[in-house]
Amino acid sequence: MKAGTQSGERPVSDAEAGFEVGEGFERFSQKDDIFCRSFWDPEVRTSRSEMFYETYRTPELRWRPVDGFTRRDYALRNASWHVTDLFAEFREGADRREGFLDPYTVLRDGPGPPDESDEPEEVLAARFAVELKTAARALGADLIGITGNDERWVYTHAYSRETETEKPQELPGELGNVVVIAQAMDRGLVQTVPSALSGTATGVGYSSDTVVLLAIAQYILNMGYAAVPTMNDTALAIPLAIKAGLGEYGRHGLLITKEFGPRVRLGKVFTDMPLAHDRPRRFGVRETCEVCRACSDACPPKAIAMGAPTGRVYNISNIRGVRKWTTDAEKCFRFWSNQNTDCSICVRVCPYNRDYSRRLSRLWRWMAGTRLRRLALWIDRRSRRGRRVASRTWWGDVRLVGLNVAPGRGAQENRRHPRTE
């Protein structure tokens, strides 16, 4: 399976996407992903990691009277995961955790072949791409891009929770295109990290990813083509998202989008529908990361690289042969386990984590894309934009004024930015 292109289209090179893939490159097996290792690898699986997962099922286990870690914080966090958890557990009896280890199940044959068309291939692909994006937005996608499939980023094997080892990758080889979506995470919730409450932004992102991916796949099937909707399973999402024009790669190892900064969850649909491809978009992230250390300075276990991009790997959870900023997933996951919830401090402090509906934020992003980026970073530090907001402030802590309850910051944020910013 080669990187797919439509005829007449100039292929997206690694250089255009900002990748440096070297001779020592090895494709990744999902078994080595840190979350899979937390089940089979005694180096990662500990009583703390087991408790970490247990709190997602039994929130009363670890709540304590500390801001951000109370019962209501865990209750909301776990509620936000509910939809994606339902889908993940639906076919566990058949050794499938859909969305995390296996693709979502869809109709295999679809409702009939595509319509006959006498349009030239590139015209059809361009029309389908526009229509698909319109459809995806109507179905709830916040960002959408299209690129060719590239087997380098497809996992060599899937991971079986039943046998705790590799199992065959089930992605059919003939699906040459990938539709990549990004769902925005709530900025107000992310501001409360470290907290169990902030994990709600992650859960909402995954739950909406699940619904939107299934709906986009169903649209493609209804048009007569094959579609395999995938979330964290099947392939690395970030290289595909970069090639699909959704954003750039940041020092913290996350995608940084122009619209939401690093506050996104990604999903992808593999398909044989003819689709025109997008091209990578650069807006100065790499250059900003070269002079910014906000995430590596703020990361409690120091899991984020301080220096220039290298080919260094910390452990088997890092892909080999790609020159980039690489994070130490073992240190990061240990920190998550120890605090009984996920962490996104690096997302909170990243200066690209802004509300881009505001003109000043768009002005800041423009500055960061120019030689004024050091000034932009100084302004960001002075403004204290990345400071933590107390969870009780987000909740509004039921300030009773007479009989009126004043809304919390979370409610105010939701009113100001109804869905997207």
The residues, any chain, with a CB within 8 Å of residue 125's CB and separated by 6 or more, are: 6, 274, 275, 276
The residues, any chain, with a CB within 8 Å of residue 375's CB and separated by 6 or more, are: 367
304 binding ligand SF4? (CB under 6 A): yes
Q: Which residue from 345, 367, 376, 389 is in contact with ligand SF4, where contact means CB under 6 A?
A: 345
Which CB sits closer to ligand SF4, 6 or 288?
288
Say how far apart CA 328 and CA 302 lie, in whole Å: 8
Size of the site for ligand SF4 (CB under 6 A): 25
The residue among 181, 291, 201, 153 whose CA lies nearest residue 247 is 181
For residue 13, the 8-state DSSP code is P
Which CB sits closer to ligand SF4, 169 or 288?
288
Instruction: For 339-403, give the DSSP string.
Output: HTS---HHHHH-TT-S-TTSHHHHHHHHHHTSTTHHHHHHHHHHHTTT----HHHHHTTTEEETT
Say how far apart CA 99 and CA 103 lie, in whole Å: 6
356 binding ligand SF4? (CB under 6 A): no
Q: Could you count the other beta carbons within 10 Å of the beta carbon of residue 155?
A: 21
Q: With CB under 6 A as the contact rule, which of the stretches 86-94, 249-257, 307-315, 409-417 interacts with ligand SF4? A: 249-257
- Token couple for 10: 């100039």
Q: With CB under 6 A as the contact rule, which of the stretches 44-52, 74-82, 109-117, 290-298 interacts with ligand SF4? A: 290-298
Q: Which residue from 195, 208, 257, 288 is in contact with ligand SF4, where contact means CB under 6 A?
A: 288
Instruction: For 215-244, give the DSSP string.
Output: HHHHHHHHTT--EEEESSSSB-HHHHHHHT
CB 200, min distance to ligand SF4, A: 16
Say how far apart CA 327 and CA 309 lie, in whole Å: 11
CB 246, min distance to ligand SF4, A: 15
146 binding ligand SF4? (CB under 6 A): no
Which CB sits closer to ligand SF4, 212 or 295?
295
Which CB sits closer to ligand SF4, 252 or 409?
252
* Cβ–Cβ < 8 Å for 209, 301: no
Q: Could you count the other beta carbons within 10 Å of the beta carbon of residue 224?
A: 13
294 binding ligand SF4? (CB under 6 A): yes
Which CB sits closer to ligand SF4, 59 or 351?
351
Which residues partner with 399 through β-bridges?
Answer: 406
* Cβ–Cβ < 8 Å for 265, 206: yes
Q: Which residue from 299, 316, 322, 376 is in contact with ligand SF4, where contact means CB under 6 A?
A: 299
CB 190, min distance to ligand SF4, A: 11
CB 350, min distance to ligand SF4, A: 3
343 binding ligand SF4? (CB under 6 A): yes
Which CB sits closer to ligand SF4, 233 or 330?
330
Q: Which residue from 187, 251, 263, 277 is in contact with ligand SF4, where contact means CB under 6 A?
A: 251
- Spacing of C-alpha 204 from chain mean position: 12
Phi and psi at 78, nearest 5°, equal: -70, -35
289 binding ligand SF4? (CB under 6 A): yes
280 binding ligand SF4? (CB under 6 A): no
Say how far apart CA 232 and CA 393 lie, in whole Å: 32
350 binding ligand SF4? (CB under 6 A): yes
Which CB sits closer to ligand SF4, 228 or 255?
255
344 binding ligand SF4? (CB under 6 A): yes
Say how far apart CA 414 and CA 45 lie, in whole Å: 38
CB 371, min distance to ligand SF4, A: 16
- Token couple for 116: 């006959």
Say how far apart CA 327 and CA 295 lie, in whole Å: 11
Q: With CB under 6 A as the contact rule, which of the stretches 84-92, 196-204, 341-349, 387-395 interacts with ligand SF4? A: 341-349
Binding mask 208-247 for ligand SF4 (x = CB under 6 A): ----------------------------------------
Q: With CB under 6 A as the contact rule, which of the stretches 48-56, 315-323, 348-356, 396-404 interacts with ligand SF4? A: 348-356
Which CB sits closer to ligand SF4, 213 or 292?
292
Binding site for ligand SF4 (CB under 6 A): 250-252, 288-289, 292-295, 299-301, 303-304, 327, 332, 335, 343-346, 349-352
